[in-house]
């Protein structure tokens, strides 16, 4: 039996959603593609439906990734890594490092592209599951590979990942800032919600029996 801690990425390990930073790095390579993502940006701004917002994110990233080769993506990941690292919550990184030193394993499950988040943890033993985009002869396409790693799908992808590896996991803790991760956190013995005062107030109503970590 392996002891695991589950973490969301954006807003949990980081203090904010890093999607915009990844989008900016992708646009640096092909700035003219800004015109092809305008409609989805507007959807993200004006929609209050989290599923629509996430679908728009996936379509924006797919459009910007489409046609790039693995070397382009490696360069973008390197730049994204340098931008994302300063946004990490020091308390969560300390929690992760202490858990690893105690012999526990870490699984990050994110709606963001898996390749981008993996780049932030490439030098560690941390496992990452995220949204994947198809490749054709080392060229990325805008099509998703499998289901998007969001909401209830996270549980499905965790189950698939476990079945492909030799792990017999026991999820001790689950951490997130978004109630869309409630299905994933229910896999864990203890649930931890992290966020500012407004977020925590809302989460306490939705899941009063969990643990809450206030961070501005």
pLDDT of res. 216: 75
Give percent of the chain with pLDDT exceeding 70. 100
pLDDT of res. 206: 96
Question: Which pLDDT band holds residue 118 (cuts at 50, 70, 90)?
Answer: very high
Whether 80 and 21 have beta carbons less than 8 Å apart is answered as yes
- Reported as a single tens digit per residue, the pLDDT across 52-95 is 999 999 999 999 999 999 999 999 999 999 999 999 999 999 99
- Reported as a single tens digit per residue, the pLDDT across 35-59 is 999 999 999 999 989 999 999 999 9
Mean pLDDT of 18-30: 97
Beta-carbon contacts of residue 198 (< 8 Å; ≥ 6 apart): none
Please report, to the nearest 10 degrees, the dihedral formed by the alpha carbons of residues 128, 131, 133, 134 taken in order: 80
Strands 133-136 and 139-144: antiparallel
- The answer on pLDDT for 33 being more than 90 is yes
Among 50, 16, 11, 17, residue whose Cα is nearest residue 194: 11
pLDDT of res. 122: 85
pTM surpassing 0.85?
A: yes
Mean of the per-residue pLDDT values of the chain: 96
- The answer on pLDDT for 143 being more than 80 is yes
Number of Cα atoms under 13 Å in the Cβ half of residue 204: 10
Q: Which two tokens stand for residue 123?
A: 């030098």
Structural domains for the chain: 2-214 (3.40.50.1000)
Q: Which two tokens stand for residue 200?
A: 């925590």
Other Cβ atoms closer than 10 A to 146: 12
Helix (H) or strand (E) holding 98: helix 90-101
Which phi and psi (to 5°) does residue 119 adopt?
-60, -25
Mean pLDDT of 11-32: 97
Residue 212 bridge partners (DSSP): 193
- The answer on pLDDT for 180 being more than 80 is yes
Give the number of residues written for the chain. 216
pLDDT of res. 203: 96
Helix (H) or strand (E) holding 6: strand 2-7
Helix, strand, or coil (residue 30): coil
Euclidean distance between the first and the last CA atom of the chain, given in angstroms as a whole number: 36
Q: Which two tokens stand for residue 178?
A: 């978004």
pLDDT of res. 123: 77
């Amino acid at each position: 039996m392996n002891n695991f801690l589950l973490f969301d990425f954006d807003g949990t390990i980081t203090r904010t959603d890093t999607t915009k930073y990844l989008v900016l790095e992708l646009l640096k390579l092909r700035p003219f593609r800004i015109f092809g993502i305008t409609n989805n940006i507007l959807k993200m701004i004006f929609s209050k439906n989290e599923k629509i917002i996430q679908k728009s994110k996936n379509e924006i990233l797919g459009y910007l990734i489409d046609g790039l080769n693995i070397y382009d993506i490696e360069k973008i990941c390197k730049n994204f890594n340098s931008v994302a690292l300063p946004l990490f919550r020091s308390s969560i990184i300390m929690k992760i490092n202490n858990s690893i030193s105690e012999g526990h394993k870490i699984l990050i499950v994110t709606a963001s592209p898996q390749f981008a988040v993996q780049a932030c943890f490439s030098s560690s033993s941390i496992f990452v599951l995220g949204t994947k985009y198809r490749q054709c002869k080392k060229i990325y396409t805008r099509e998703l590979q499998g289901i998007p790693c969001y909401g209830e799908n996270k549980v499905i992808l965790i189950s698939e990942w476990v079945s492909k590896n030799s792990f017999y996991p026991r999820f001790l803790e689950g951490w997130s800032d978004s109630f869309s991760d409630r299905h994933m956190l229910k896999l864990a013995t203890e649930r931890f919600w992290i966020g500012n005062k407004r977020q925590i107030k809302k989460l306490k109503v939705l899941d009063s029996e969990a643990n809450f970590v206030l961070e501005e």
